[in-house]
Amino acid sequence: MKKILITGGAGFLGSHLCDALIKKGHDVLCVDNFFTGNKENVSHLITNPKFELMRHDVTFPLYVEVDQIYNLACPASPIHYQHDPVQTTKTSVHGAINMLGLAKRLNARILQASTSEVYGDPEVHPQTEDYWGKVNPIGIRSCYDEGKRCAETLFFDYFRQHQLEIKVMRIFNTYGPRMHPNDGRVVSNFIVQALKNESITIYGDGSQTRSFCYVDDLIGGMMKMMESDKVITGPINIGNPNEFSMLELAELVLKLTSSQSKLTFKPLPKDDPKQRQPDIGLAKAKLDWEPKVKLEDGLKETITFFRKLLTN
């Protein structure tokens, strides 16, 4: 059993990863500055002797003893990362430098939670890992997109320069229980609006597409990536390749919530990608991983979570 550090461990993905690793018998050190993370996400673990919670900002060095590091710290929704874009870039870049420095000192394996946003508004569809992307370096989303791109650069420079054991996974749209209700992501937006019988906001004409991976599938892929052979550095796409338009998603949410909400249309935000779909051929070949949860089944679980949250 290992002692494992998870930065951003009280966030949506991080808290599910804490659960999964503790279930496997590992000791988990959860580090979070609670900018978007929530103590409620890990409150059920507080009394578990295998769990430890630490308030810390990864833009500052951290001195702990661990065997593995999952670097998940960074606000991941446009509303949150655009709130303080300078801090967002610092979290990705300084955070990567600090965690890589820690991994180098400890000779620990380290995984970077990168993002499909490194592909920007892609000209290649679906996106393969060898595509370099089309990113606006000075746009309102650049703090996140370019921050994550720079973090990948740092990881591979540490790999080449210091022979550090790195893992880089590119996460595509993920949803499930513990999503932040006000993070501006399409799944949580649609569900909350539908449950409140408010108008469902669709940006553009609703034809833009996304691929939605249920959180349990994503965490399974993340753990497989960490435990894969040390020569498998990535980057590897982890996501669900089934593509849905925003209109299709809205109609499914309306059906599953039995909502009376109507659709309203607003202009598409600047630099918002028109398509997002992972090519997961590498994940299948290298990790023997592919998602199993269907969108309708995952949405039912997510709707149940939000229904409880809104009635409390």
First-last CA distance in the chain: 38
Q: Could you tell me the two tokens for 203?
A: 């940006």
Of 263, 253, 244, 238, the residue nearest 299 (C-alpha): 253
Cis preceding-peptide flag for 137 (omega within 30 of 0): no
- Is 81 a catalytic site residue? no
If you write DSSP's letter for every residue of 220-280 in order, what string do you get? HHHHHHHHS-TT----EEES---EEEHHHHHHHHHHHHT----EEEEPPPTT--S---B--
Q: Write the CB contacts of 263 (distance below 8 Å, at least 6 apart in sequence).
A: 199, 200, 202, 206, 247, 250
Catalytic residue (one of 70, 119, 144, 175): 144
Nearest 5°: the CA angle 21, 22, 23 is: 90
Q: Could you tell me the two tokens for 211?
A: 């691929």
The Cα 178–Cα 309 span in angstroms is: 9
The residues assigned a catalytic role are 144
